[in-house]
Structure 1
Amino acid sequence: MTKAFGLTLAAAMLAAATPAFAQDDPRFCPTRPSLGGSSCTTEPGRVHIEVSTLDWQRDDQPDQREDRIVTADLLARLGVGKDTELQLEWVGYGRDRTRDKAAGTVDTVTGTGDLTFAVREHLAGKKGKPFSAGVQLYVTAPTGRYPIGAGTWSTGVIIPLQYDLTEKVAVAVTGEADAAANQSGDGRHLAYSEITGLRYKFTESVTATAELALERDDDPAGHETMASAALSAAWRPTKVLQLDVLAVAGLNRAAPDVRLVTGGAILF
């Protein structure tokens, strides 16, 4: 009788401890690799580090072809409140190569990129609830040389929304409006975009996201509307580490033809 009671007590204690362990799992929610934003914020006192190890983009236009490679694109996210985080992003190195098809000349620019400071606030949504929303405000300082950097100050607002259709499927919409830097490097103009995505969770550690993006850019040098499609995948070998890849294809002449990004994230 005593032995049976002891086994029963041990089983009860184990059952009670299991949910507590699950609740202690860290809130690990990288924004990458999808094009859209996220409302999820870092827990107070913890830091997300996200990095693009390689970001290559090709834009083939009738008069020229541009290839841009960015490495060491670093994003640090610091939790400062229950629903608030601060972000600091810097492009460590970029190389832009533009070939004039008519003249046959090649212009290459290398250097660091701009520095972006942002604040993200989680507005709605709790664990176990299907809907979530947030807002992110940012400002970018022209610390890099054009075209790796923008050439002047810019600012904007990002509003991400998400609804979980099932435990595995979620739909997300991200709207953004910017006072974007003019291509000339002097002044700003209106730019806005909308990204719609569908995420599928294969397992707790493997997810994939398909997205469609529309962007309107009212630069004084020429107004453009760009359409793109993207597919990304993320793998989490541990609860605080992610490796990911993103592929983007332009759907019209104004959009860059192709973009490939590899990288990952880690939580401290």
Structure 2
Amino acid sequence: MRVPAIVLFSITLLPTAAWAEDRDYCPDRPGIGTPACTMAPGQFSLEMGVGDWTLNKDDTQRTDTFTVGDALLRYGIADHAEVQVGWSMVGFARTRDKLTGAIQHQTGTGDVTLALRRNLANPDGSGFSIAVMPYVSLPVGTNPLGAGDWGAGALLPMSYELSDGWSLASTTEVDAAVDGDGHGRHFAVAETVGASFAFNDKLSASAEYQVLADHDPEGHSVQHLSGLSLAWQPRDDLQFDVGANAGLDRDADDLEVYFGVSRRF
């Protein structure tokens, strides 16, 4: 399972031809929210989470989850629209019972997500930009990454450039999320807000906050999450990123640290 991740990561570093349209590269990575921009017609974006570590602990147990090869492929099908395919290639989870000391290991792949993003204003993300993005997840994965059943939802990402350096963004999300037991779906809604600052045309930083209300039959929860991320674009078609998210309450994961690379073709 590690070979595809290495191959796709290598592809992102290959040279490419110039585009037919001069549109700034706008990857989905990094961060919690979703951008409103879309790929230009005929262009691909391959975005790879090279490494991701998530920590979740309470009074009884600690779980460390590692994800390798969290891939997203985007393709512009029109001036204001793109299609997406996402898949997490492999995940490892280690759970330690604090009372008995017992350790459980799990290895599996993620579900496949299919999405359509339709931009309604400024598909390059400039000025005020807004889009709608329905999606569906297919239950092809296994624990610890697979949900166990199909899910669906829709996102409404928006962004606004305050100046040459500062911009604001928000993402509203409504989901038919998979139940915790892997059978059936329930209602979940999330709101993410953030601010970004571009130090120059290559380096930018973002700060975000998310609140998620999850009405799982196994237990309703309201999760609060904060995030910081950095993105560096050494070329117009290449970006490297690093970020961290921290849970602000007991229901959210305690910590997540990740890094990745994005490449336009």
Q: SS of the residue aligned with 2:258?
A: strand
Letter in 2 for 1:264: V
- Quick one: distance in 2 between partners of 1:93 and 1:26? 33
1:131 pairs with one of 104, 128, 131:
128
Letter in 2 for 1:247: A
Letter in 1 for 2:198: K
1:78 corresponds to 2:71: no
CA, structure 1 residues 266+224, in 2 after alignment: closer, same or farther (shift >3 Å)? same
What is residue 62 of structure 1 aligned with on the other side? 59
Moved more, 147-156 or 95-104: 95-104
What is residue 144 of structure 1 aligned with on the other side? 141
Cα RMSD between the aligned structures? 1.7
Structure 2 unmatched ranges of 5 or more: 1-17
What is residue 183 of structure 1 aligned with on the other side? 180
CA, structure 1 residues 39+129, in 2 after alignment: closer, same or farther (shift >3 Å)? closer
What is residue 168 of structure 1 aligned with on the other side? 165
1:207 corresponds to 2:204: yes
Instruction: Report the alpha carbon displacement of residue 24 of structure 1 after superposing the two structures with TM.
Output: 5.1
- 1:1-268 matches, within 5 Å, as 25-125=22-122, 130-268=127-265
Letter in 1 for 2:209: L
User: What TM-score do you get using the length of structure 2 for normalisation?
Assistant: 0.90
Moved more, 96-105 or 61-70: 96-105
Letter in 1 for 2:169: A
- Quick one: distance in 2 between partners of 1:128 and 1:162? 7
Q: SS of the residue aligned with 2:114?
A: strand
- Quick one: distance in 2 between partners of 1:88 and 1:45? 15
Q: SS of the residue aligned with 1:144?
A: coil
Percent identity (aligned): 39
Instruction: Report the alpha carbon displacement of residue 26 of structure 1 after superposing the two structures with TM.
Output: 3.9
Structure 1 unmatched ranges of 5 or more: 1-20
- Quick one: distance in 1 between partners of 2:44 and 2:140? 24
CA, structure 1 residues 126+111, in 2 after alignment: closer, same or farther (shift >3 Å)? closer
- Quick one: distance in 1 between partners of 2:196 and 2:207? 7
CA, structure 1 residues 98+129, in 2 after alignment: closer, same or farther (shift >3 Å)? closer
Instruction: Report the alpha carbon displacement of residue 38 of structure 1 after superposing the two structures with TM.
Output: 1.1
Letter in 1 for 2:227: A
8 Å Cα contact 1:27/1:43 also seen in 2: no
CA, structure 1 residues 184+237, in 2 after alignment: closer, same or farther (shift >3 Å)? same
Number of residue pairs matched by the alignment: 248
- Quick one: distance in 2 between partners of 1:128 and 1:139? 24
Letter in 1 for 2:140: T
CA, structure 1 residues 237+137, in 2 after alignment: closer, same or farther (shift >3 Å)? same
Richer in helix (by share): 1
8 Å Cα contact 2:151/2:185 also seen in 1: yes
Q: Please list every run of at least 4 consecutive aligned residues from structure 1 whose deviation after the TM superposition is greater than 2 angstroms.
A: 23-27, 125-130
- Quick one: distance in 1 between partners of 2:238 and 2:30? 13
Q: SS of the residue aligned with 1:219?
A: coil
* 1:183-218 Cα deviation digits (max 9, x unpaired): 101100111111110000100010000001111111
Instruction: Report the alpha carbon displacement of residue 103 of structure 1 after superposing the two structures with TM.
Output: 2.5
CA, structure 1 residues 90+196, in 2 after alignment: closer, same or farther (shift >3 Å)? same
